[in-house]
Amino acid sequence: MSIILYTALTALITYLLYTHIIHPLFLHPLHSIPPAHPTAALSSHWIYFHRRGGSQALSAITAAHARHGPIVRLSPTEISVATYAAAKIVYVDRGGFAKPKWWAEEFITFGVKNMVSMEGGVADKRHARRKRDHGSVYAKTALLGEGKLERIAKQVLGTLVERLDDLVEREEGTMDVFNFNGAVNADFVSAYLFGRAGSTSFVEKVVERDEYFRHHGLFLRGEDTETEGLTWLEKMAKRYCEAVEKEEKGENENAVVYMQLKSRGVEGDELASELLDHFIAGAEAPRTTLTYLQWELCRNPRIQGRLRQELQTLSPSNSSHVKVPNLKKLDTLPLLDAVLTETLRLYTPTPGPQHRITPPEGANIERHFIPGGTKISASLGVLHQREKVFSEAGSWKPERWITDDGKKLEEMRRWFWAFSKGSRTCVGKDFTLIVMKLIIFTIYARYSTEIVEDEKMAPTDRFLVQPEGEKLVLMFSKAF
């Protein structure tokens, strides 16, 4: 071998060794962060392998934190954090970090940016403006005090009770509740978004409901089915928007969110995209939450009984005439709040990494300096498994939320991230909580439930969790 060839080969091997092994392992600014897997500092293969097919790699990330502590390196340029203090820096302090472009764009519909698909962070003024465009429509004071939600509740809960009475009296009481729960929530949220003209009647119209959930499933599954699902969803949202536009002036004031955004100049595809996102969020995440909540109430009949007693203090009607309870009183029932919070903790609907990117100046997190442009995330489901905060974290224990220990309660609330925190916190949080409470009230004050079929209830490792079998069959009986 000639001396020139020998020198060139040695230089190449040295260069490759330096760039692929020595630099990432010993000199890269992230080198002191423990790798989730021995190869994670050298290549992205480990994390890509766990993320194949749309998986969120939640169990791999959970196991990595259990082995290596609160900060781990998932790939040469990506880290995961698992403490309240670190999550606060990423999502809350100084407006929180921006979303990486690829992640924000996952949520684009109609080819335009809605709030969730904006990158955010201090530099993104559009996101802050869009948040302001929503005004107070989703604020707790407006929801509990203005009577608009009560009017919707009267209608939707009336239909719910009719359906359940029929089920119990004429159909032996057995039903798969998974899509049914989605239906009730969809009817609520669509009425609030689009008013009477554009709202769904999924509780009654089973074929329409199943079509919606089927197409949303195609959209979520991604790849070859994504376009078919999205096209169908976009047509649906356009139809609802057109229905509001055709209404007489005055009538369309019931389209609370539509009219609010329109009054701020959000129009056309931008408006349709924003509302479609709220519709999907309002139907899907509570579908999962209520299904797991009902499952746990069936597995814990004593808690179901105590909850019924608590709900009956609000004097529900026992005829088919539905009485909407006082929303402020409903909101403060302690056991109702505890069962819902505990379900959102243990079966977090979006438990996987909420991806962000460090700002150009970098950040100090968990005693490491993280340079600008690093991919970083906390997984909400991992925060919720913190044993020191939530003892027996893997068990459903609603009573943990009913305690006189104010310090403990405050600590648990800090670590409760089901709706995220900071500038990107869920805009529909108070809406969905009060709607779910109304639905639980209406069902469990009047009926009791038992499990008929609960195979495959393990949560899927997807962005939006579902029970693996997408099914939970319950037997309903009249409780009084």
Shortest Å distance, C-beta 120 to ligand HEM: 6
The site for ligand HEM (CB under 6 A) is made up of 115-116, 131, 189, 277-278, 281-282, 285-286, 289, 349-350, 354, 418-420, 424, 426-428, 431-432
99 — alpha (psi -120 to 50), left (phi > 0) or beta? beta
Shortest Å distance, C-beta 410 to ligand HEM: 21
SS3 325: coil
Q: Which is nearer to ligand HEM, 240 or 419 (CB)?
A: 419
Task: Quote the CA–CA distance of 97 and 122 in Å, as a whole number.
Answer: 8
Q: Which is nearer to ligand HEM, 126 or 408 (CB)?
A: 126
Q: Which is nearer to ligand HEM, 76 or 428 (CB)?
A: 428
Task: Quote the CA–CA distance of 109 and 131 in Å, as a whole number.
Answer: 18
SS3 246: helix
SS3 72: strand
Do the beta carbons of residue 144 and residue 433 sit within 8 Å? Answer: no
Q: Which two tokens stand for residue 431?
A: 């809406």
Across the beta sheet with 174-176, what order do the strands follow? 174-176, 473-478, 447-453
Do the beta carbons of residue 140 and residue 147 sit within 8 Å? Answer: no
Render 170-226 in DSSP notation, one character per residue: HSTTEEEHHHHHHHHHHHHHHHHHHHHHH---TTT-HHHHHHHHHHHHHHHH-GGGH
Instruction: From 352, 419, 384, select the one nearest 58 (Cα to Cα).
Output: 352
Q: Which is nearer to ligand HEM, 333 or 426 (CB)?
A: 426
Shortest Å distance, C-beta 459 to ligand HEM: 13
Q: Which is nearer to ligand HEM, 380 or 475 (CB)?
A: 380
Q: Which is nearer to ligand HEM, 186 or 475 (CB)?
A: 186
Shortest Å distance, C-beta 201 to ligand HEM: 18
Q: Which residues pair with 174 in a beta bridge?
A: 475
202 — alpha (psi -120 to 50), left (phi > 0) or beta? alpha
Task: Quote the CA–CA distance of 389 and 408 in Å, as a whole number.
Answer: 8
Shortest Å distance, C-beta 359 to ligand HEM: 16
- Find the distance separating the first CA and the last CA of the chain, reported in whole Å: 93
Task: Quote the CA–CA distance of 35 and 77 in Å, as a whole number.
Answer: 11
Residue 426 assigned to a binding site: yes
Q: Which is nearer to ligand HEM, 432 or 448 (CB)?
A: 432
Q: Which is nearer to ligand HEM, 130 or 163 (CB)?
A: 130
Shortest Å distance, C-beta 406 to ligand HEM: 25
474 — alpha (psi -120 to 50), left (phi > 0) or beta? beta
Closest residue to ligand HEM using C-beta atoms: 428
Shortest Å distance, C-beta 262 to ligand HEM: 16
Query: Cβ neighbours of residue 136 under 8 Å, at least 6 residues apart?
Result: 142
Instruction: Enumerate long-range contacts of 371-377, CB under 8 Å, 24 or more apart.
Output: 371/29, 371/30, 373/77, 374/30, 374/77, 374/78, 374/79, 375/75, 375/77, 375/78, 375/79, 375/100, 376/78, 376/79, 376/80, 376/81, 376/90, 376/97, 377/78, 377/80, 377/81, 377/90, 377/353
Q: Which is nearer to ligand HEM, 358 or 448 (CB)?
A: 358
Shortest Å distance, C-beta 381 to ligand HEM: 11
Element (H, E) at 377: strand 375-378
Q: Which is nearer to ligand HEM, 304 or 420 (CB)?
A: 420
R_g of the chain computed on alpha carbons: 24
Shortest Å distance, C-beta 7 to ligand HEM: 52
Q: Which two tokens stand for residue 430?
A: 């108070």
Q: Which is nearer to ligand HEM, 76 or 353 (CB)?
A: 353
Shortest Å distance, C-beta 380 to ligand HEM: 6
Shortest Å distance, C-beta 470 to ligand HEM: 17
Binding residues for heme: 426
Binding residues: 426
